[in-house]
Chains A and B, each alone.
Chain A
């Protein structure tokens, strides 16, 4: 099956710093990548959708200037949390789809746990 990786798997940072999370599709080209956030004991909440070579589409309530998304290639999307604060501590998960075929399956990364002190 298709594999999506995320790096780092966990990160601890000080309040006010920026953190970059990478999402890679290892064995397929992903025309679309999605970023989700998951707080403890809660479900996944979609943050944004990114298509290769174009600007990301953010969900309502997600600050685009705080959560910068870059999808510069068909195998890499990055999420940068700028000026992180403790309330940004969460589990960030990306998913990728090929955009091809009748059933457009999404493949999920293993997630990145961000802790902001």
Chain B
């Protein structure tokens, strides 16, 4: 899997938008960009994924750069429950039957 780079930590105020960046300069054309998050003392949960176009779902939005070498996970209004470690993971569709390879992720702190 291609490597991703994320900031170790970020901080946000409650009810403000949060932009979590991810760099993946060696991404291949068939790599999907996945985001998972892990709340404290819980297993990871799926957030969103995309290939080339921006994606929206009820949890977040994913903005993908035109050259696909970076992406940004957007939480439109952070809540205290969004405090978690967010993982940006690349995975080729052909590897979809294999385990996810977690990096260090970004620890998001949300303050009231």
Q: Which residues of A contact B (CB under 8 A)?
A: 4, 6, 32, 34, 36, 43-46, 49, 91, 93-95, 97, 99, 102-111, 113
A4 to B42 Cα, complex, angstroms: 12
A46 to B32 Cα, complex, angstroms: 20
The interface residues of chain A lying within 8 Å CB-to-CB of B56 are none
Seed contacts A34-B100, A108-B44, A110-B42; 19 additional CB < 8 Å A-B pairs: A43-B102, A43-B103, A44-B102, A49-B98, A49-B99, A94-B43, A95-B99, A97-B97, A99-B97, A102-B93, A102-B96, A103-B93, A103-B96, A104-B97, A106-B99, A106-B100, A108-B43, A110-B43, A111-B41
Q: When the two chains form the complex, which single residue of B43, B87, B96, B104 contacts A95, counting CB atoms closer than 8 Å? A: B43
A36 to B36 Cα, complex, angstroms: 15
Interface residues on B, range: 20 to 34
* B residues 3-41 in Cβ contact with A at 8 Å: 32, 38, 41
By DSSP majority rule, is chain B's interface helix, strand, loop, or mixed?
loop
Q: Are A46 and B99 in contact (CB under 8 A)?
A: yes
Closest residue of B by beta carbon distance from A4: B43
Nearest Cβ in chain A — how far from B92, in angstroms?
11
Q: When the two chains form the complex, which single residue of A46, A94, A102 contacts B101, counting CB atoms closer than 8 Å? A: A46
The interface residues of chain B lying within 8 Å CB-to-CB of A91 are 41
The interface residues of chain A lying within 8 Å CB-to-CB of B99 are 34, 36, 46, 49, 95, 106
Q: Are B43 and A111 in contact (CB under 8 A)?
A: yes
Closest residue of B by beta carbon distance from A92: B43
A44 to B105 Cα, complex, angstroms: 10
